Amino acid sequence: MRLADKYALITGAGRGIGFATARAFVREGATVAIADIDLERAKSAVQGLEKLGGRGLAVHVDVADPASIDQMLRAILDAFGRIDILSNNAGVGGNTPFLETTLAEWELILRTNLTGAFLVAQGVAREMVKGGSGKIINIASLSGQRGGDGRAAYGAAKAGLELLTKVMAVELAPFGINVNAIAPGPIDTEMAHLAHDEATRAAYHYLVPMSRYGTPDEIADAAVFLASDESRYVHGHTLNVDGGFQAAGLMYKTAAVPTRPSA
């Protein structure tokens, strides 16, 4: 029970990595607010937690909307009284070639994946400062570290989130708030199913040394570590959970190099 008596907020936790993280946090004794733009999805996720014997609160939020973030925080603080752990997980994918990326798409992805994460973290951190402790985990991406095809907006937002993690770590350390990021490689979720065609999946199997997608539970296990006291001197760090994708250079494999994935 590494998170006993802790109150956690996970954005975008109605499904995928966020929901897996909620299950893992509950398993470790936390009570979790599941915030999602799809309230029905959040409610069924909470039912899923209850089936595991855990406790959760379903809350609506659109992290691209500052007023919605304020409402979410008020609802959670009314219910829990405090937030000990934040997983800043809500995000939307993007897979459009640079030359075709519209300003509208750029702004939506930046607003959701970077500005939204900033505003949620700022609102939560202002509460954590009052208690003198807290854990914040920003969910970044390998796409924020490497120049992936079609990832102009998405990659720029996630790279920004990694840098924001460092600044937050520097500024929030004196308040006892521990800030880190996780950069997942390709993870088998709805987001990946929607964004990755067959050629993209083949490319990932080739480029990831472990030759497979990760599971949401593998990200959740890393999040438990960063949310727990075990990571107390890990600070301002981005933990890659990527099957070795970032580590890899030239790899000789017997499989043929896949064709270049279409965007």
Q: Which residues of this chain interact with ligand NAD, rule CB under 6 A?
A: 11-12, 14-18, 36-38, 41, 61-64, 89-92, 112, 139, 141, 184, 186-187, 189-192
> Which residue number places its CB atom closest to ligand NAD?
16
Shortest gap between Cβ of 217 and ligand NAD (angstroms)? 12
Residue 6 or 158: the one with the smaller Cβ distance to ligand NAD is 158
Shortest gap between Cβ of 42 and ligand NAD (angstroms)? 8
> What CA–CA distance (Å, rounded) separates 238 from 180?
6
Distances (CA, A) of 205 to 168, 213, 242: 34, 7, 12
Closest by CA to 181, choosing from 225, 129, 133, 132, is 225
Catalytic residue among 7, 154, 204, 213: 154
Collect all residues with Cβ–Cβ distance below 8 Å to 127 and sequence separation of at least 6: 73, 77, 82, 83
Residue 81's CB is within 10 A of a number of other CB atoms, namely 10
Shortest gap between Cβ of 224 and ligand NAD (angstroms)? 16
Strand 56-60 relative to strand 7-11, pairing: unpaired
Active site residue 154: yes
Shortest gap between Cβ of 5 and ligand NAD (angstroms)? 26
Residue 55 three-state SS: coil
Residue 29 or 152: the one with the smaller Cβ distance to ligand NAD is 152
Residue 160 or 184: the one with the smaller Cβ distance to ligand NAD is 184
Q: DSSP characters for 200-261?
A: HHHHHHHHSTT-S-B-HHHHHHHHHHHHSGGGTT--S-EEEESTTTTT--S---SSPPPPPP
As annotated, the active-site residues are 154
